[in-house]
Chains A and B, each alone.
Chain A
Amino acid sequence: MPDTQAQRPTPLQLFLIFSRIGLTSFGGGLSGWMLREFVQRRQLLSEEDFLNGLSIAQALPGVNVTNMAIWIGCRLGGRSGAIASWLGMVVPAAIVIVLIGGAFASISGYELSHVALNGAAAAAIGLSLAMGLTAARRVPRRVFPLAVMAATFIAVIVLQLPLLWTVLGIGSLSVAVSYHQS
């Protein structure tokens, strides 16, 4: 791993880098951005280290991109680096979303604005469904994983069980089975 203490970014620099990434990201593709920034351009992390972080970020709960920000921040700047990176990823984008929400609220008196938002939502649901179908396609074609996927859907939609208990129950069973099979 390229490791020169002098090159390490300060927490402020980490905050600014992640602010920029957060504010220019629309609908995914972020990890590619981070790879380019931290591994290829600045050479602050090795590719292997980055990919380890990515698999943890995806395996653990939490938004993948903020998980990844914490992983990178922690590797490069310890606790303050992790906090700065997390804040950079979340706070500027949070301010922007509230501003956009406010702008929409101020035109919510017009019926057309609700119609337009509904059309936008219908198209945006495509993002969610496409991601769900892609994730479903990556589930191994074996009885147990497919049953886990179906059971999760049924627990949430048909039985209306709270998601936390669904995940803790079905999720830990599924993880335990994969652990024993590996």
Chain B
Amino acid sequence: MLSLTPKEISDRNALTVNPAKTCQPIGAMYAALGIHRCLPHSHGSQGCCAYHRSHLTRHYKEPVMASTSSFTEGAAVFGGMSNLRQAITNIFHIYDPDVIAVHTTCLSETIGDDLSTIILKARDEGLVPEGKWVIHCNTPSYAGSHVTGFSNMTTGMVKYFAQENERHREQINLIPGYVEPSDMREIKRLLAEMELPSVVFPDTSDVLDAPQQGAPVSVGKAADIYPKGGTRIRDLQSMGDSRVTLALGPFASENAAIELENRTEIPARIMDLPIGIAATDRFIQVLLETAEVLEPPASIADDRGRMVDIMLDMQQYFYDRKVAIYGDPDQVISLTEFAVSLGMKPIYVLTGTPGKRFDARIKGILKDVVPGARIKSSGDLFLLHQWIKNEPVDLLIGNTYGKYIARAEDIPFVRFGFPILDRVGHSYFPTVGYRGGMRLLEKMLDALLDRKDRDDPEERFELVL
């Protein structure tokens, strides 16, 4: 069980061991699934598409449909234009999506396929049926991470669908960021509670948490592969008419919001993912300003009150506890702030996604409470494990791959982030907002108290808290 990891930390310049990130296309595929009746398309060799579908399926336990350009050696040498043209023709004929969302892979990026031109040409030649769309984004796997890929596909949605302000609508755009379908659902609920009409994109709720309702009846020749969720095209097309764009999570959502601002002058407000008390408060504050009201509805205020109540009731179990947090930057930033608000000490904070902004943000959050914290972007779990070997923590929070470290070092572990391959719940129950915060609190507290119950000597094993 990772028993070969040495405690001594030595310089590594070339070898990544146990990565805390993956490549761009899977993020692009996930974002594309958030458009209604969209078929994500992977432009490269088959393996990428298979790997991304497999991993997303393992995380969501849901069907993940996507097609591939099926490159062989010939395409790698002569370019993938012919493959993509064939793919577009076949996909519209067989699967009848409203949108094909193409993303590149490191293969098609390296040979330099120009997707804009190929798609334009395909449209000119009538390969794209009337009223249908082929959109794309570039997702070279050798830059950024899956978060970058998500950001690029979301930006691609803006580039293809946003139209100049034609008529002003009383609606806002909301980009929820790289979060679970449950989170997108919760964000939509909050917007509805605030009576804010909105376009939320991408939106994977009812796509990757679709209900089991038995076999639908097969009609005609079209495959029955599109769930009921996803942002509608007409809504995407109306984003240029909105009053403001609220983008949650700078790493995943900022680029799309800025792209839209540049195209349409709709102001972009970038904020943290509303995970934890402080970030959710700021989010609600912005919603209040946007809705031009002074107070949230009682339902939201009550949820907040309940969350703070748990925080107070349980403060002694969190206070001063050392925690290690890793995962995607937007989530880790908010979660670190949340841990601090509970009196915890995040002594190790790490993301695999590159970006010095991450280090600066975390440093800012921790500067007064844990000045000596180890913080790293572009890090890997091997390094995190070495840190923990040198000074253990009371709690580890991160994606499934952390279970190896948790077991090797016997540390309570809360699964959070992407991917979670070995548990369910994450896609059904939110971690954003006050309700999400309550769920996180429950999970963290359970992990700590289960550990206490297991470790306490019999005479200290107690019935009550």
Chain B binds chain A: no
Which residues from chain B sit less than 8 Å from chain A, CB to CB?
A: none
